[in-house]
A = this chain, B = another copy of it.
Amino acid sequence: MLYAVFMSSVLPPFPQPQEPFDTPQLLEVGPAPEEPCLRADAARNRARLLEAAARLIAEHGVAGVTMEAVAAAAEVGKGTVFRRFGDRTGLLMALLDHSSRQLQADFLGGPPPLGPGAPPVERLRAFGVAVLYRSADQLDLQLAAQPEPTRRYANPPIQALRTHITMLLRQVEPNADCELLAQTLLAYLDPAQIHHLTRQCGMPMERLEAGWTDLVDRVTRTAPTR
């Protein structure tokens, strides 16, 4: 599996501007198209670093992705890695960026039932399944890319997902506290939880999938699908 290395654009430069939390201002164009345009050498190094990281993963698994190892493999100083990606989590999230955008594009503008056109509840069902399977492969990377608890819910990709769920919910249950319900639904799709259920409890994906459908039905007070 390759991790879409060559184009992606995330992450605060360096002093890490401590982004204003959780204002769901997005939903405009999906992702910002291009950051303030890196200097030539910076851009080159960024690409090298992502490529190096992907190679390291392929060879030694996520555990092999040490900041120093990446720096070395990219023939770059350690400081450069941190400047560009902030921290290890940032680097790993950058590796996931491509698939993240892909998913976002799919549910924002792709064909139904994931994209617009299908009724909200069906979009919700499709959404969960999509996220579920996306997390299922990439699981190791997703787990490793999980930031410390305090930032877990405060990063752009997650917020995009939550915003989308919220929007769909509002169309079905306009009088409910859709933010909270969305949070709950999103939690069901948490990589750590998927990991626990599939790898530690041995549940098959089909069961998780059915569980999602059922959960959506209950949360939206829809009659059971079956």
Q: Please give the residue numbers on chain A whose beta carbons come within 8 Å of chain B beta carbons, in ascending order.
A: 21-22, 143, 146, 149-150, 152-154, 176-177, 179-181, 183-184, 187-188, 190-193, 195-197, 200-201, 207-208, 210-211, 214-215, 218-219, 221
Contacts and interface: CB of A to CB of B under 8 A. Distances in A.
Contacts of A177: 207, 210-211, 214
Contact of A180 (B154, B195, B208): B208
A145 to B, nearest CB: 10
Contacts of A210: 177
Contacts of A150: 143, 192, 195
The 7 closest A-B pairs by CB, nearest first: A187-B187, A180-B211, A149-B192, A153-B196, A21-B200, A146-B149, A143-B149
Contacts of A152: 192, 196
A63 B32 CA distance: 35
Contacts of A214: 176-177, 180-181
B192 A183 contact: no
Given A149-B192, A150-B143, A200-B153, A184 B183 contact: no
Contact of A200 (B22, B187, B193, B200): B22
Contacts of A219: 215, 218-219
Contacts of A207: 177, 180
B183 A193 contact: yes
30 contacts: A22-B196, A22-B200, A143-B149, A146-B149, A149-B192, A149-B195, A150-B192, A150-B195, A152-B192, A153-B192, A153-B193, A153-B196, A153-B200, A154-B196, A154-B200, A177-B207, A177-B210, A177-B214, A179-B201, A180-B207, A180-B208, A180-B211, A181-B218, A183-B188, A184-B187, A187-B187, A187-B188, A218-B218, A218-B219, A219-B219
Contacts of A183: 188, 193, 197
A195 B154 CA distance: 11
A179 B193 CA distance: 12
A65 to B, nearest CB: 15
